[in-house]
């Protein structure tokens, strides 16, 4: 497993470097008020069962799961179905996720969102908050 995680980490570094070339870190300013985890914690603390639904295109072990999914439509469906929050895989190479999936989910629902990725650099946090406004 360690070799596999090392491969993911290496590809994350490579993809991050390419994204930094396309959009310099200086272009990703922190908003005046950064969102915190309070909404996410609050959603899960409600009485009864709290479900975190997941948006995931693929997995390294299973391959393609839903390569053509509509992240916004799926997030809206999860909200209508009673999910408390939505987890969105954004890692590109192995899980075929996209940061745009996070953006589409945010536009389509009001639930708290969790970006699932291999976060190794502050740039990725700026990228998520500055572009997706999550």
- What does the DSSP 8-state code read for residue 31? P
> What Å distances lie between residue 122 and 43, 63, 68, 106, 119, CA to CA?
26, 29, 30, 21, 8
In angstroms, the CA 17 to CA 119 distance is 13
pLDDT in tens, 61-83: 899 999 899 999 999 999 999 99
**What are the residue ranges spanned by the domains of the chain?**
2-30+38-132
Instruction: Average the pLDDT over 113-120 and give the result.
Output: 91
* pLDDT beyond 80 at 58: yes
Give me the mean pLDDT over the 92-114 stretch: 93
Q: Which carries the bigger pLDDT value, residue 64 or residue 37?
A: 64
- pLDDT at 1 > cutoff 70: no
What is the spatial distance between Cα 89 and Cα 101, in angstroms, rounded to a whole number? 8
Measured distance CA(94)–CA(49) in Å, rounded: 31
| 33 has pLDDT over 70 | no
Residue 69, classified by CB atoms within 10 Å of its CB into exposed (0-12), middle (13-18) or buried (19+), is middle
Rounded to whole angstroms, the maximal C-alpha distance in the chain is 46
2-30+38-132 carries CATH number 1.10.520.10: no
Distance between terminal CA atoms of the chain?
31
> Is 134's pLDDT higher than 50?
no
**At residue 29, does pLDDT exceed 50?**
yes
Average pLDDT over residues 106-132: 84
Does residue 18 register a pLDDT over 50?
yes
H helix runs in the chain, sequence order: 2-22, 38-44, 71-80, 99-108, 122-132
Q: How confident is the model at residue 38 (pLDDT cuts 50, 70, 90)?
A: confident
Residue 124 DSSP SS3 = helix
In the prediction, which pLDDT does 24 show?
84
Mean pLDDT of the chain: 87
């Amino acid at each position: 497993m360690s070799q596999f995680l090392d491969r993911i980490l290496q590809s994350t570094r490579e993809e991050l470097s390419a994204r930094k070339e396309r959009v310099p870190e200086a272009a990703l300013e922190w908003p005046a008020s950064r969102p915190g985890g309070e909404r996410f914690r609050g959603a899960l603390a409600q009485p009864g069962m709290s479900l975190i639904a997941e948006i995931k295109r693929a997995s390294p072990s299973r391959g393609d799961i839903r390569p053509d999914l509509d992240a916004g439509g799926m997030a809206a469906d999860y909200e209508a179905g009673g999910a408390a929050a939505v987890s969105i895989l954004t890692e590109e190479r192995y899980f075929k996720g996209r940061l745009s999936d996070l953006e589409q989910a945010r536009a389509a629902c009001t639930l708290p969102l969790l970006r699932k990725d291999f976060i190794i650099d502050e740039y990725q946090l700026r990228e998520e908050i500055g572009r997706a406004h999550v």
